[in-house]
């Protein structure tokens, strides 16, 4: 298959995948309690369906989607709801947010999986609602509700290509790799579901070329499945080839329009983990309650992949991996390029968590002495979206956010390539994240001030109108009065005239 | 005496100019709109003008300085300076100081439904009918505090806007080389 | 033909009005903070300078010289220029709001730009004919606009720089102009006049 | 357990400013050695004076501006600036020439703008241009290249020329000569043909005696920089192509009156300029397309100044002139961003 | 409308009034100073001329006895040459030519060149130039004695081939760092000498040229 | 501080036309290569400023907006031409040196600037003083810049003083550095720009120094009040 090359990227990024790939996926035990932040996907937070004290089963829906872009949440084990309150969430802000906590009873009682009819009999709409009900969101990164992505019925777009993202381009992370190695058949089954749902002409499953054994496993599964429209491809190992836009470009040579989505060019791209979740939901009737997470880094004793119940506190995962080593320095959720550091390990994993990296001092640099930008342009040649990070940086640093926006700040995918190659060690991505979020706030304020202006002007209009009305009313009243007085004056004049006739010497005043 | 010709010429030019001034007279001033766009539309009157637009007009006509709007703060002044091509200057302390954004909250138990605050609110952000308790539509309240003085029972308080996750901003990396020294 | 070309090269590069001849410096320093405004100013100046060159040539040739009033040159030129500028402004303001947006606000500034009077007087001093006068004014204005635009882009870059406090603003801008002037010395010798 | 937080990416950077500058210094070595071989220890004096002055000035300015001295000094950028300036100066210049030059480069051209990374003009070239404009007399004393030296110059002669400025004029006349470019320009001005001019011993087999080897050494160093990816090829390629094309056209149209392209490329500072000076990342254009344009403009302008202007060598002025246009070039050569039309 | 008309007329009136006052005052001053200025200009030229041809050598009014000639075969730039002649009685003593060296470093250099009737140079002065201060301005007598090197030279001393700066193989010093200026001056002086040689006849005839 | 002192301080320091308002740059930079040139042009400019400010202030009520600019430039141009004629008559050599920059005083931006910004809004006395103060401020800038450039560029001070003060002043010329090769840059155009830039920076430093003690005393008095 012909492949294309996107701009820049980092071919030489250290890998560190082996630490965690040689062990099979282990199923992590049920923790003492599970915590579910109500917002663990893009869109509106879910609304709790349970009260404190309620008993719930594994697979039971405990929070429901609110609005279109949202996803329900299901309990991952049986137990009682212990509180519904703010809890630390895995988020770079370090904020707490409303969450449901469940005290597990260790019995792990499960809601009987609803037996499913053959998916080929189901309409696309049925499948979409099934996937939505299963609480499936993108497990590859953004946690965007998958049902919406798949629901192309309502839209006029035709999907012809389904891309299965198994690239896993970030260092350290290997959950998709293990998943593909061990459960390739099920993933391919999921692909069939999606193909049926979307009516796409072909499916491409992309894997980086540095894991040939996995490719072999998947190739075998594809062959076995014997569906000619499914294709497994090896793509060059260049970070961030797993980024949706870069993957689309690599595989099809097309570009996702800025501000658009792949569906605009007839493509849907889905992470292989998500596909597995779809298979679980559609074929086996299980909602999304667990996912595979890589626990790795020099800070854990036994790095490996775990199948983890969503909601499990990180500390439990570390215990499964035989605890911290003396080198544990930093706790990172996600990979070393895109992840974020957490303050403590009582934070639960959520649907989007694909990796827990317990980094040692030399694995995670922190104290970089930033030098001034020397305009070497290395960042620009590394940027996979062909931005000019140095210019973005000058504008962000000096708070000229509109200018940064003008040179396409919002197209930055925050991949971190520029940051890593910068000889001046400038925290570029952090500048961009700041600028993007500040810009968002600015836009919001602008929006508010526009509303305020409209309302103010509307009110002014109303007031003047009211005033005018009042004036009009009083004018009418006065006019009535005036009419009266006019009549009076006329009468008076007549009288006077009459009087004059009688007495001509009397002049008028 | 040939220079008399020049004088006549100049007088002629004067007449032409006088004519041009009248013939090409222009009304309206788009700059006011541009200035108004940069003001925060809090409509609080702290600038000593009755609302943002009057202040914009005052700036355009040179009657007011650009540093009189506390809600706009330094950023607002910088934007105005940029638009008008003048030097930015610090906020005029006489007009107040830049404060974090607030919203009005009516203590619904104390509110007597007098409607006075509704009349005061420049953006119609307060809802209520006579003799019923009133509420503030938080999303539309600009935090101008104009509703505070009229309330006879002092049931309105100003509270800081809660920082939501959606409006959370990443911290800006501090640049070691940016520290200001002279 | 080539002498006209030489006038252009000379006024634009070798004897650049701003950096070598020291004319029109106030707008050069004042209206160079932003690229767009610099471009507007450049455009407006080009227009006025060319026009002023021609008008003053005509005034001198057909009014002052025949009347023997050369000693009133300065007065005549400046009044004619002021009137021309003000007329232009009024007309543009009325007829093309768009053009006014681009040029209008700079026009009044130009009367008091010594490049305008300078170009008129230099034309006389150098004995330029009609076409030469026009070209001289045009070239001078292009030279002015060019360095103004370049200067504004550099200044935009400087505003995001870490300039030591006492040098912020005008001081570093002047030093930059100085270095630009050094660079322009590289053109010296290109044209002998 | 409690952990420290910080922000992604967490991967250690593989590059540093210091590393880049270090490689520039290494790449300059062949050129430096060839120059010393060809023009004697005067080169070394220039280097030493420039270096000490520049480093002292750098430290002083950092101190005045309240910046940490060590991390900034160790970026080696001042060393590169000093070295490049030293290599551009005439070999027998009196000591205050490199001294003043280094001061101008570091204090005015660099630190008044905020130091490393902020200067819009190439510091070394600003200093060179200022010296050229201010002290044209002292800026022309180039030693004869090695092969042409008749009297051997003793070390003490050198010292007296450079530091005391009281060496007898005859000695100076005997051991100095105008550069090939300079000679070419003067002689052309006297209506001599290229062949007549080139028959002089000052002009070697390819370009200028001695000078050609220096150029080739710089070319080699430049290749090292390319290989190490310290510089991208666009600027040198643009510059050399610009200079080559325009001199080739001129050469073809009037061969007797225009020096050959090889002469232009190899006899002056073209190689040093193309690989080490125009490539100064701080003052060059930053977009890929822009860099080629930037280089080409310098090449063309160099030719124009050399041929029609008042100075025999145009690189320095061309560089700072084009430095001025860099923000504009960058502005108009933004790459197409992914997903945009 | 009436008020508009008034406004327009008023504008004209005010501007007219001010120009009347302004121009009146200026003209008045002009009338007062005119003579002095003319005198200044005359003296300025005279001062330069006298420096070259001392008063005791001639008895005519140098300024009055000037003529304009042009010879494009020698001076390629079409400008005419102004010549001031010094007579003692009917005898031509010297000619002072005001010529322009077009190829100075920064443009033209205006020179006064005094030639004795026998073709020997009496002196050369640069009256106006744009040469670089500190470099090319050594042609100024204020700055250096360089121009005095021409005194007493003639077309035969040295031979025309050696009318060059030393660097070009001639006999005249250049100033260090600036060869362009001296080249230009030397070249123009040589041309003027040749010019004089060619027109000597015409020049010595008083009558033919007395009124030109 | 009374009003006039304020105006003076404003003209000489706080709003110095050359250092702060950055107006009148062309003559400032072009003619400041020696002290004497600078001084002469400074005086001519000051005279013009005083006269133009006074006249404009007197007639400000009579001039409508549509012809304000032409009238102002007419006034200024007349004044300048008169000054030019007088210089031509009585300081001929200086007149030659200052060249085109004398008629250009007309467009010296600081003159029309003061006419617009001050004289057209203020009574006669204030305008007169303002013209004087601004002119002196401008002259001092010219002289200081001239001194710096002259010393650096040619190693002398007060060269050509006789053009201004007559033959007796010939001895005023001071040779600061003998046998000086001359830092040509200083007298060439770039030197003017850079010199002015450095002087402005110097002024900024001084201003900061001046401001510091001031705030300290304020703090002290605050403390006293508290105590
Ligand atoms: C704010 C937001 C809105 C989105 N809207 C849609 C949408 O309307 N339809 C859709 O199919 N995908 C939508 N997506 C999903 C994106 O197309 C993309 O698949 C998703 O962001 C995952 O990509 P990533 O992890 O590379 O960021 C949206 C994503 C985001 C972040
Ligand atoms: C820089 C970057 C790198 C990414 N790398 C991967 C990856 O290696 N594998 C992956 O599945 N998704 C990766 N993603 C997320 C994908 O862009 C996209 O969100 C995902 O493939 C969409 O599938 P999902 O909705 O099923 O998560 C990356 C995103 C970015 C921005
Ligand atoms: C700023 C500057 C001004 C110069 N002015 C003059 C000048 O007035 N006259 C002149 O002959 N050369 C002038 N030069 C030219 C150089 O000194 C040039 O190198 C010299 O004329 C060539 O002389 P050479 O043949 O001795 O090297 C000037 C150079 C510079 C940099
Ligand atoms: C490839 C390369 C070329 C450089 N060239 C120059 C140069 O020409 N002149 C100079 O002053 N510094 C040069 N530097 C050093 C450094 O970039 C320079 O000091 C900065 O301009 C100072 O901000 C160079 C550095 C590199 C990496
Ligand atoms: S973080 Fe943004 S700017 Fe940097 S390389 Fe990635 S996409 Fe480009
Ligand atoms: S890599 Fe770093 S130093 Fe180089 S241009 Fe980009 S931000 Fe600047
Ligand atoms: S102070 Fe208040 S009313 Fe005035 S402009 Fe600012 S927000 Fe608007
Ligand atoms: S509710 Fe009160 S504070 Fe809010 S906008 Fe209305 S008046 Fe202002
Ligand atoms: S004095 Fe202001 S533009 Fe010349």
Tell me the three-class secondary structure of D52-106, residue by residue: HHHHHHHHHHHHHCCCCHHHHHCCCHHHHHHHHHHHHCCCCCCCHHHHHHHHHHH
A153 pLDDT exceeds 80?
no
E134 close to F (CB below 8 A): yes
Domain residues for the domain of E17 are: 1-52
Instruction: Report the pLDDT value the prediction gives residue F163, as an integer from 0 to 100.
Output: 67
DSSP H helix total and E strand total for chain B: 5, 4
Q: Are residues E109 and E128 in the same domain?
A: yes
Percentage of chain F beyond pLDDT 70 is: 85
Instruction: Report the pLDDT value the prediction gives residue F221, as an integer from 0 to 100.
Output: 42
Going by the DSSP 8-state scheme, the letter that residue D110 receives in this structure is I
Inside any domain, residue E62: yes
Q: Which of C17, C56, C78 to mutate to test the interface with F (most CBs of F within 10 A)?
A: C78
Distance CA A480, CA E131 (A): 93
Inside any domain, residue E32: yes
Atom 2 of ligand 5: nearest residue by CA position: A412
CB contacts of F205 in chain B (<8 Å) are 182
Q: Phi and psi of C133, rounded to 5°? A: -60, -50
As for the ipTM of the complex, it is: 0.86
Inside any domain, residue E74: yes
E27 close to C (CB below 8 A): yes
pLDDT tens for E94-149 read 888 888 887 777 777 888 899 988 888 888 988 888 777 667 778 888 777 888 88
Q: For residue F225, name the pLDDT band (cuts at 50, 70, 90).
A: very low
Percentage of chain A beyond pLDDT 70 is: 94
Inside any domain, residue E195: yes
Instruction: Report the pLDDT value the prediction gives residue F217, as an integer from 0 to 100.
Output: 46
Q: For residue C117, name the pLDDT band (cuts at 50, 70, 90).
A: confident
Average of per-residue pLDDT values in chain B: 80
Q: For residue F222, name the pLDDT band (cuts at 50, 70, 90).
A: very low
A353 pLDDT exceeds 90?
yes
Q: For residue A399, name the pLDDT band (cuts at 50, 70, 90).
A: confident
Among C167, A2, B32, CA closest to F196: C167
Inside any domain, residue E211: no
Which residue reads 């381009």 in tokens? A169
Give yes or no for a contact between A161 and A267, defined as CB atoms under 8 angstroms apart.
yes
Going by the DSSP 8-state scheme, the letter that residue D200 receives in this structure is S
Mean pLDDT of D147-162: 71
E209 pLDDT exceeds 60?
no
What's the gap in Å between B121 CA and the centre of ligand 8?
A: 5
Q: For residue F144, name the pLDDT band (cuts at 50, 70, 90).
A: very high
Asked if the Cβ–Cβ distance from D135 to F188 is below 8 Å, we say: no
Residue F117 burial (C-beta neighbours within 10 Å; 0-12, 13-18, 19+) = middle
Task: Answer yes or no: is the C-beta of B55 below 6 A from any ligand 7 atom.
Answer: yes
Which residue reads 């505003």 in tokens? C159
Among D84, D129, D73, D72, CA closest to D104: D129
Chosen domain end from E20, E37, E52 = E52
Instruction: Report the pLDDT value the prediction gives residue E71, as an integer from 0 to 100.
Output: 72
Nearest CA in chain F to D108: F194
Instruction: Report the pLDDT value the prediction gives residue D185, as an integer from 0 to 100.
Output: 75
Choose one of E103, E104, E105 to mutate for the ligand 3 pocket test, by most ligand atoms within 8 angstroms of C-beta. Answer: E105
Nearest CA in chain E to F93: E44
Q: For residue D204, name the pLDDT band (cuts at 50, 70, 90).
A: low
**Ligand in closest contact with the CA of D279:** 4
Question: Which of the residue ranges A182-191, A217-226, D126-135, E165-174 would you say has the lowest mean pLDDT?
Answer: E165-174
Q: Are residues E48 and E87 in the same domain?
A: no
Q: Are residues E62 and E2 in the same domain?
A: no
What's the gap in Å between A412 CA and the centre of ligand 6?
A: 16
Instruction: Report the pLDDT value the prediction gives residue A144, as an integer from 0 to 100.
Output: 93
CB contacts of B17 in chain E (<8 Å) are 11, 15
Atom 7 of ligand 6: nearest residue by CA position: A390
Task: Answer yes or no: is the C-beta of B103 below 6 A from any ligand 7 atom.
Answer: no
Size of interface C-F (CB pairs under 8 A): 141
Q: Are residues E47 and E62 in the same domain?
A: no
Instruction: Report the pLDDT value the prediction gives residue A156, as an integer from 0 to 100.
Output: 67
Give the H or E element holding residue A233. strand A230-235
**Angle A21-A365-A349 (CA atoms, 0-180°, nearest 5)?**
50
Q: For residue A154, name the pLDDT band (cuts at 50, 70, 90).
A: low
Of A30-44, A144-158, D170-184, F51-65, which has the strongest mean pLDDT?
A30-44
> Which comes out higher in pLDDT, residue D145 or F47?
F47
**Ligand in closest contact with the CA of B134:** 8
Q: Are residues E37 and E69 in the same domain?
A: no
Q: For the whole model, what pTM was predicted?
A: 0.88
Among A352, A429, A355, CA closest to A385: A429
CATH superfamily of A25-333: NADH-ubiquinone oxidoreductase 51kDa subunit (3.40.50.11540)
Residues recorded for chain C = 193
Distance CA B150, CA B134 (A): 14
C193 pLDDT exceeds 60?
no
Q: Are residues E101 and E184 in the same domain?
A: yes
Instruction: Report the pLDDT value the prediction gives residue B25, as an integer from 0 to 100.
Output: 67
Q: Are residues E85 and E138 in the same domain?
A: yes
Among D52, D286, D104, CA closest to D113: D104
Instruction: Report the pLDDT value the prediction gives residue F63, as an integer from 0 to 100.
Output: 78
Asked if the Cβ–Cβ distance from E107 to C71 is below 8 Å, we say: no
F221 close to E (CB below 8 A): no
C159 close to A (CB below 8 A): yes
Nearest CA in chain A to D15: A423
The Cβ of residue C81 has, within 10 Å, a number of other Cβ atoms equal to 29
Mean pLDDT of E75-92: 76
Instruction: Report the pLDDT value the prediction gives residue F218, as an integer from 0 to 100.
Output: 45
Q: For residue B180, name the pLDDT band (cuts at 50, 70, 90).
A: very low
Instruction: Report the pLDDT value the prediction gives residue F44, as an integer from 0 to 100.
Output: 86
Task: Answer yes or no: is the C-beta of E131 below 6 A from any ligand 3 atom.
Answer: yes
What's the gap in Å between B68 CA and the centre of ligand 7?
A: 8
A292 pLDDT exceeds 90?
yes
What's the gap in Å between B101 CA and the centre of ligand 8?
A: 12
Asked if the Cβ–Cβ distance from A431 to B173 is below 8 Å, we say: yes
Task: Answer yes or no: is the C-beta of A170 below 6 A from any ligand 1 atom.
Answer: no
Residue B172 burial (C-beta neighbours within 10 Å; 0-12, 13-18, 19+) = middle
Mean pLDDT of D89-109: 93
Distance CA C185, CA D129 (A): 9
Average of per-residue pLDDT values in chain D: 88
Atom 4 of ligand 8: nearest residue by CA position: B141
Question: Which of the residue ranges A73-77, A278-282, B170-174, C174-178 would you say has the lowest mean pLDDT?
Answer: B170-174
pLDDT tens for D30-44 read 999 999 988 888 899
Which structure tokens are listed for C182?
């050094």
What is the distance in angstroms between the Cα of F10 and the nearest Cα belonging to chain B? 18
Strand A304-309, strand A26-27: pairing: parallel
Question: Which of the residue ranges A481-490, B163-172, F7-16 would you say has the lowest mean pLDDT?
Answer: A481-490
Assess whether chains D and B touch, using the rule of 3 or more C-beta pairs within 8 angstroms: yes
> Which comes out higher in pLDDT, residue B58 or D81?
D81
Of D312-321, E36-45, F30-39, F84-93, which has the strongest mean pLDDT?
D312-321
pLDDT tens for A170-183 read 999 999 999 999 99
Instruction: Report the pLDDT value the prediction gives residue F154, as an integer from 0 to 100.
Output: 80
What is the distance in angstroms between the Cα of B75 and the nearest Cα belonging to chain C? 16
From the list D137, D186, D190, which residue is nearest E177 (CB)?
D137
Inside any domain, residue E212: no
Q: Are residues E123 and E82 in the same domain?
A: yes
Task: Tell me the CA distances in angstroms from D341 to A257, A258, A406, A414, F1, one per residue in order.
Answer: 8, 9, 15, 21, 64
Strand A161-165, strand A267-271: pairing: parallel
pLDDT tens for E27-59 read 889 888 888 888 888 888 888 888 888 888 888
Average of per-residue pLDDT values in chain A: 89
Asked if the Cβ–Cβ distance from B24 to C86 is below 8 Å, we say: no
Inside any domain, residue E183: yes
pLDDT tens for B124-147 read 888 877 777 778 888 888 888 888
Question: Which of the residue ranges A270-284, A393-407, C43-57, F92-106 would you say has the lowest mean pLDDT?
Answer: F92-106
Distance CA A395, CA D334 (A): 15
Question: Which of the residue ranges C79-83, E7-11, F51-55 would you say has the lowest mean pLDDT?
Answer: E7-11
Q: Are residues E46 and E100 in the same domain?
A: no
What is the distance in angstroms between the Cα of C104 and the nearest Cα belonging to chain E? 22
Give yes or no for a contact between F92 and E36, defined as CB atoms under 8 angstroms apart.
no
Strand A96-104, strand A33-37: pairing: antiparallel
pLDDT tens for A204-234 read 999 999 899 999 999 999 999 888 999 999 9
Instruction: Report the pLDDT value the prediction gives residue B178, as an integer from 0 to 100.
Output: 38
Distance CA A78, CA A104 (A): 6
Size of interface C-D (CB pairs under 8 A): 86
> Which comes out higher in pLDDT, residue A370 or A62?
A62
Q: For residue F160, name the pLDDT band (cuts at 50, 70, 90).
A: confident
CB contacts of B181 in chain C (<8 Å) are 165
Give chain E's domain count. Answer: 2
Inside any domain, residue E210: no
Assess whether chains B and A touch, using the rule of 3 or more C-beta pairs within 8 angstroms: yes
D118 close to A (CB below 8 A): yes
What's the gap in Å between D340 CA and the centre of ligand 5?
A: 16
Q: Are residues E165 and E188 in the same domain?
A: yes
């Amino acid at each position: 298959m012909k492949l294309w090359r996107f701009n820049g990227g980092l071919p030489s990024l250290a890998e560190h995948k082996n630490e965690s790939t040689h062990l099979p996926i282990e199923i992590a035990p049920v923790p003492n309690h599970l915590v579910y932040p109500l917002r663990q996907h893009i869109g509106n937070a879910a609304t709790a369906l349970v009260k404190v004290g309620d008993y719930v089963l594994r697979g039971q829906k405990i929070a429901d989607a609110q609005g279109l872009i949202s996803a329900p949440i299901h309990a991952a084990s049986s137990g009682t709801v212990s509180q519904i309150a703010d809890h630390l969430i895995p988020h770079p802000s370090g904020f707490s947010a409303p969450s449901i906590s469940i005290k597990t009873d260790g019995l792990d009682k499960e809601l009987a999986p609803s037996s499913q009819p053959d998916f080929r009999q189901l309409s696309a709409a049925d499948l979409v609602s099934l996937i939505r009900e299963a609480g499936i969101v993108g497990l590859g990164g953004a946690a965007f509700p998958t049902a919406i992505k798949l629901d192309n019925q309502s839209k006029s777009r035709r999907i012809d290509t389904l891309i299965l993202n198994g690239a896993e381009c970030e260092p350290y992370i290997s959950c998709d790799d293990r998943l593909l190695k061990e459960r390739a058949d099920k993933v391919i089954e999921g692909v069939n579901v999606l193909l049926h749902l979307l009516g796409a002409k072909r499916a491409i499953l992309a894997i980086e070329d540095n894991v040939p054994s996995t490719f072999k496993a998947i190739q075998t599964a594809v062959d076995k499945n014997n569906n000619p429209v499914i294709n497994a491809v090896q793509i060059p190992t260049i970070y961030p080839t797993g980024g949706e836009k870069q993957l689309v470009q690599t595989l099809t040579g097309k570009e996702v329009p800025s501000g658009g989505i792949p569906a605009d060019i007839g493509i849907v791209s889905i992470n292989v983990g998500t596909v597995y979740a779809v298979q679980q939901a559609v074929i086996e009737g299980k909602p999304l309650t667990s996912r595979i997470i890589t626990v790795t880094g020099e800070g854990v004793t036994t790095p490996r992949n775990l199948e983890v119940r969503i909601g499990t506190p990180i500390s439990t995962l570390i215990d499964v991996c035989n605890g911290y080593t003396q080198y544990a320095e930093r706790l990172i959720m996600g990979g070393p390029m895109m992840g974020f550091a957490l303050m403590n390990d009582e934070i639960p994993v959520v649907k989007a968590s694909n990796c827990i990296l317990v980094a040692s001092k030399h694995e995670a640099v922190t104290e970089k002495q930033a030098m001034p930008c020397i305009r070497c342009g290395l960042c620009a040649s590394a940027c996979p979206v062909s931005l000019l990070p140095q210019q973005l940086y000058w504008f962000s640093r000096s708070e000229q956010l509109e200018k940064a926006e003008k040179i396409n700040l919002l197209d930055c995918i925050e991949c971190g390539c520029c940051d890593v190659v910068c000889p001046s060690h400038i925290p570029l991505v952090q500048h961009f994240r700041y600028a993007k979020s500040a810009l968002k706030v600015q836009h919001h304020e602008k929006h508010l001030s526009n509303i305020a202006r409209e309302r103010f002007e509307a009110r002014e209009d109303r007031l003047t109108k009211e005033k005018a009305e009042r004036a009009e009313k009083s004018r009418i009243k006065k006019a009535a009065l005036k009419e009266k007085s006019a009549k009076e004056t006329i009468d008076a004049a007549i009288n006077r005239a009459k009087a004059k006739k009688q007495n001509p010497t009397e002049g008028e005043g | 005496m040939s220079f008399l010709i020049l004088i006549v010429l100049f007088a002629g030019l004067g007449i032409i100019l006088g004519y041009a001034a009248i013939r090409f007279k222009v009304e309206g001033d788009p700059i006011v709109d541009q200035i108004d766009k940069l003001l925060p539309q809090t409509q609080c009157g702290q600038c000593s003008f009755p609302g943002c637009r009057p202040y914009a007009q005052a700036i355009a006509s040179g009657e007011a300085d650009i540093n009189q709007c506390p809600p706009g703060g330094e950023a607002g002044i910088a934007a105005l300076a940029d638009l008008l091509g003048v030097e930015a200057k610090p906020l005029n302390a006489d007009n107040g100081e830049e404060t974090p954004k607030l919203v009005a909250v009516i203590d619904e138990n104390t509110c007597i439904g007098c409607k006075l605050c509704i009349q005061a609110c420049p953006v119609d952000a307060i809802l209520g009918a006579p003799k019923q308790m009133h509420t503030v539509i938080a999303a539309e309240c600009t935090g101008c505090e104009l509703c505070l003085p009229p309330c006879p029972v002092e049931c309105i308080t100003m509270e800081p806007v809660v920082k939501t996750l959606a409006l959370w901003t990443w911290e800006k990396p501090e640049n070691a080389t940016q520290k200001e020294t002279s | 033909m080539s002498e006209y070309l030489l006038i252009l090269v000379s006024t634009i590069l070798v004897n650049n009005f701003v950096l070598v001849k020291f004319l029109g410096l106030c707008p050069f320093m004042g209206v160079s903070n932003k690229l767009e405004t610099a471009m507007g100013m450049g455009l407006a100046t080009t227009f006025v300078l060319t026009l002023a060159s021609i008008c003053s040539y005509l005034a001198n040739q057909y009014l002052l010289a025949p009347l023997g009033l050369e000693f009133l040159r300065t007065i005549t030129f400046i009044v004619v220029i002021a009137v021309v500028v003000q007329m232009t402004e009024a007309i543009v303001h009325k007829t093309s709001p768009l053009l006014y947006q681009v040029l209008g606000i700079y026009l009044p500034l130009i009367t008091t730009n010594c490049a305008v009077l300078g170009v008129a007087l230099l034309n006389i001093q150098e004995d330029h004919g009609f076409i030469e006068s026009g070209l001289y004014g045009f070239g001078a204005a292009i030279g002015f606009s060019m360095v103004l635009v370049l200067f504004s882009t550099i200044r935009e870059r400087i505003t995001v720089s870490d300039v030591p406090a006492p040098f912020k603003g005008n001081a570093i801008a002047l030093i930059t102009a100085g270095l630009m002037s050094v660079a322009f010395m590289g053109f010296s010798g290109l044209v002998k006049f | 357990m409690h952990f420290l937080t910080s922000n992604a990416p967490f991967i250690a950077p593989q590059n540093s400013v210091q590393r880049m500058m270090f490689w520039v210094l290494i790449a300059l070595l062949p050129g430096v050695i060839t120059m010393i071989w060809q023009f004697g220890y005067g080169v070394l004096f220039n280097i030493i004076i420039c270096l000490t002055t520049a480093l002292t000035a750098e430290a002083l300015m950092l101190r005045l501006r309240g910046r940490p001295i060590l991390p900034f000094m160790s970026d080696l950028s001042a060393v590169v600036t000093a070295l490049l300036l030293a290599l551009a100066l005439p070999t027998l210049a009196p000591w205050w020439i490199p001294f003043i030059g280094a001061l101008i480069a570091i204090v005015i051209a660099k630190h008044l703008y905020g130091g490393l990374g902020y200067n819009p003009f190439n510091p070394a070239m600003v200093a060179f241009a200022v010296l050229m404009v201010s002290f044209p007399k002292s800026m022309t004393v180039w030693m004869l290249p090695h092969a042409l030296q008749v009297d051997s110059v003793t070390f003490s002669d050198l010292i007296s020329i450079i530091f005391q400025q009281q060496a007898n004029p005859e000695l100076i006349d005997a051991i100095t000569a105008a550069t090939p470019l300079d000679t070419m320009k003067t002689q052309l001005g006297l209506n001599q043909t290229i062949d007549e001019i080139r028959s002089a011993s000052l002009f070697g087999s390819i370009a200028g005696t001695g000078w050609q080897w220096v150029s080739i050494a710089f070319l080699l160093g430049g290749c090292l920089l390319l290989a190490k990816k310290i510089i991208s090829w666009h600027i040198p390629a643009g510059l050399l192509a610009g200079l080559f094309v325009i001199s080739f056209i001129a050469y073809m149209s009037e061969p007797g009156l225009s020096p050959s392209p090889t002469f232009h490329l190899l006899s002056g500072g073209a190689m040093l300029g193309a690989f080490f000076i125009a490539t100064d990342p701080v003052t060059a254009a930053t977009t890929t397309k822009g860099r080629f344009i930037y280089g080409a403009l310098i090449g063309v302008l160099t030719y124009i100044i050399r041929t029609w202007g008042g100075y025999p060598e145009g690189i320095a002025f061309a560089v700072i002139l084009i430095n001025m246009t860099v923000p504009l070039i960058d502005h108009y050569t933004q790459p197409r961003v992914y997903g945009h039309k | 409308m009436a008020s508009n008309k008034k406004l327009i007329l008023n504008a004209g009136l005010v501007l007219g009034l001010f120009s009347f006052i302004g121009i009146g005052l200026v003209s008045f001053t002009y009338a007062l100073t005119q003579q002095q200025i003319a005198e200044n200009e005359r003296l300025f030229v005279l001062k330069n001329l006298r420096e070259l041809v001392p008063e005791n050598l001639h008895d005519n009014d140098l300024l009055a006895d000037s003529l304009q000639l042009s010879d494009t075969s020698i001076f390629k730039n079409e400008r005419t040459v102004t010549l001031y002649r010094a007579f003692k009685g009917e005898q031509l003593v010297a000619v002072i030519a005001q010529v322009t060296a077009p190829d100075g470093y920064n443009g033209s250099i205006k020179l006064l060149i005094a030639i004795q009737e026998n073709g020997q140079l009496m002196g050369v002065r640069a009256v106006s130039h744009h040469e670089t201060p500190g470099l090319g301005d050594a042609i100024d007598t204020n700055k250096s004695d360089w121009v005095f090197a021409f005194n007493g030279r003639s077309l035969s001393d040295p031979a025309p081939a050696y009318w060059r700066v030393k660097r070009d193989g001639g006999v005249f010093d250049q100033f260090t760092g600036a060869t362009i200026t001296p080249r230009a001056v030397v070249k123009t002086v040589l041309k003027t000498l040749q010019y004089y040689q060619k027109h000597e006849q015409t020049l010595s005839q008083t009558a033919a040229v007395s009124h030109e | 501080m009374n009003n006039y002192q304020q105006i003076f301080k404003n003209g000489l320091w706080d709003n110095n036309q050359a250092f702060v308002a950055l107006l009148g740059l062309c003559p400032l930079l072009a003619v400041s290569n020696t002290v004497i040139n600078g001084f002469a042009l400074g005086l001519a400019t000051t005279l013009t400023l005083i006269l133009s400010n006074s006249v404009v202030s007197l007639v400000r009520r009579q001039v409508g907006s549509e012809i304000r600019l032409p009238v102002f430039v007419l006034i200024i141009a007349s004044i300048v031409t008169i000054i030019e004629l007088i210089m031509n008559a009585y300081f001929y050599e200086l007149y030659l040196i200052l060249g085109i920059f004398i008629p250009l005083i007309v467009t010296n931006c600081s003159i029309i600037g003061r006419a617009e910004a001050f004289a057209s809004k203020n009574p006669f006395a204030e305008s007169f003083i303002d013209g004087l103060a601004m002119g002196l401020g401008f002259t001092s800038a010219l002289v200081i810049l001239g001194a710096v450039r002259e010393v650096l560029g040619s190693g002398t001070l007060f060269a050509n003083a006789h053009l201004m003060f007559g033959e007796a002043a010939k001895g005023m010329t001071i040779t600061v550095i003998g046998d000086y090769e001359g830092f040509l840059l200083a007298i060439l155009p770039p030197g003017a720009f850079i010199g002015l830039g450095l002087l402005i920076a110097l002024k900024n430093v001084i201003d900061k120094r001046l401001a510091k003690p001031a705030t300290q005393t304020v703090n002290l008095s605050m403390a006293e009040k508290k105590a």
